[in-house]
A and B are shown apart, each in its own frame.
Chain A
């Protein structure tokens, strides 16, 4: 399978970024808007990419959800960053990638990011009494600025 073809397909719905925090091993990094993330995931799912992880990062002005996909044959990795906007909501991809379900629940309780369309919204890791705690959000004024770190916030 041709990775160039996949990149051409996802370039239509994403913006390539040159992040200063780029990790060794991430071959392609892009910024996706919240409306396009479901199309983005569908394209990669059709091309046999698997979801490696899904997490979040607290930046100013908005927290971002980070998806990493990998094509198992050549270990070609694609990292997508989605800024969740003012309402702190991102559409779920758990109906495209079933494995995203637990990751999204984890992000939901650690960062307070709501996933639109996620069916199961029970707490996964934290105690029931910790609802609304969001322990991985930074303190006031401690979060880095998104533009300064190289992300494009759309």
Chain B
């Protein structure tokens, strides 16, 4: 902990004068790295299952696949406490408004995982006769990670969480990968 504080203190204004870049005038590189590291390791998903992919999402949270090994098991009942929205299922016209409202209620920074073929592109519903299914949730909200499958295996969702961590911190975290029981 002392080392962390030292690192933060060592970031001086004189050494990191970068007024040409976009964003904040003052940059605390070490602190931002630390914060991003913390964010990546405490991704709280929203309790939000629309269709059958949600069953796989539940098993990710349970003991067998155990997403708590990676800090992503705290399914929050409120969008205001969530970091990740896992869109697990078919989004239809009536549901679209709710999905967008929930996304807008989440505080920044926020990420979205589109889980399953329905959320990616409409899946089996992307046909000519389709009249109610939104073909891809990325038409409504920006999506960070896509997980293909119908439904995807729980390991695939875990991999999506790793990908998201990679996106946030810039590197894949060397977690201890316990062998599956």
Q: Which of B59-98 contact A (CB under 8 A)?
A: 93-94
- Chain A residues contacting B93 (CB-CB under 8 Å) are 126-127, 129-130
Complex A-B: 7 CB contacts under 8 Å: A126-B93, A126-B131, A126-B132, A129-B93, A130-B131, A130-B132, A135-B131
- Judge if A133 is at the interface, Cβ distance under 8 Å: yes
- Chain A residues contacting B131 (CB-CB under 8 Å) are 126, 130, 133, 135
Q: How far is the CB of B5 from chain A (nearest CB, A)?
A: 55
Chain B contacts to A: CB under 8 angstroms? 93-94, 129, 131-132
A135–B129 Cα distance when bound, in Å, is: 8
Q: How many residues of A contact B (CB 8 A)?
A: 6
A47–B94 Cα distance when bound, in Å, is: 40
- Chain B residues contacting A130 (CB-CB under 8 Å) are 93, 131-132
- Chain B residues contacting A126 (CB-CB under 8 Å) are 93, 131-132
A104–B117 Cα distance when bound, in Å, is: 33
Interface bits A117-143 vs B (CB < 8 Å: 1, else 0)? 000000000110110010100000000
Closest to A134 in B: B131
- Chain B residues contacting A129 (CB-CB under 8 Å) are 93
A130–B93 Cα distance when bound, in Å, is: 9
A127–B134 Cα distance when bound, in Å, is: 12
Q: Which 9 A-B pairs have the closest CB atoms?
A: A127-B93, A135-B131, A127-B94, A133-B131, A126-B132, A130-B131, A127-B132, A130-B93, A129-B93
Q: How far is the CB of B106 from chain A (nearest CB, A)?
A: 24
A135–B131 Cα distance when bound, in Å, is: 7
Q: How far is the CB of B91 from chain A (nearest CB, A)?
A: 12
Q: How far is the CB of A134 from chain B (nearest CB, A)?
A: 9
- Chain B residues contacting A133 (CB-CB under 8 Å) are 131
A127–B96 Cα distance when bound, in Å, is: 11
- Chain B residues contacting A127 (CB-CB under 8 Å) are 93-94, 132
Closest to A126 in B: B132
Q: How far is the CB of A17 from chain B (nearest CB, A)?
A: 30
Q: How far is the CB of A105 from chain B (nearest CB, A)?
A: 15
- Chain A residues contacting B94 (CB-CB under 8 Å) are 127
Q: How far is the CB of A119 from chain B (nearest CB, A)?
A: 23
Q: How far is the CB of A124 from chain B (nearest CB, A)?
A: 11
* Known A126-B93, A127-B94; further 6 A-B contacts with Cβ < 8 A: A126-B132, A127-B132, A129-B93, A130-B93, A130-B132, A133-B131
Closest to B96 in A: A127
A130–B133 Cα distance when bound, in Å, is: 12
A133–B130 Cα distance when bound, in Å, is: 12
Q: How far is the CB of B168 from chain A (nearest CB, A)?
A: 36
A127–B93 Cα distance when bound, in Å, is: 7
A126–B133 Cα distance when bound, in Å, is: 11
Q: Which of A86-131 contact B (CB under 8 A)?
A: 126-127, 129-130
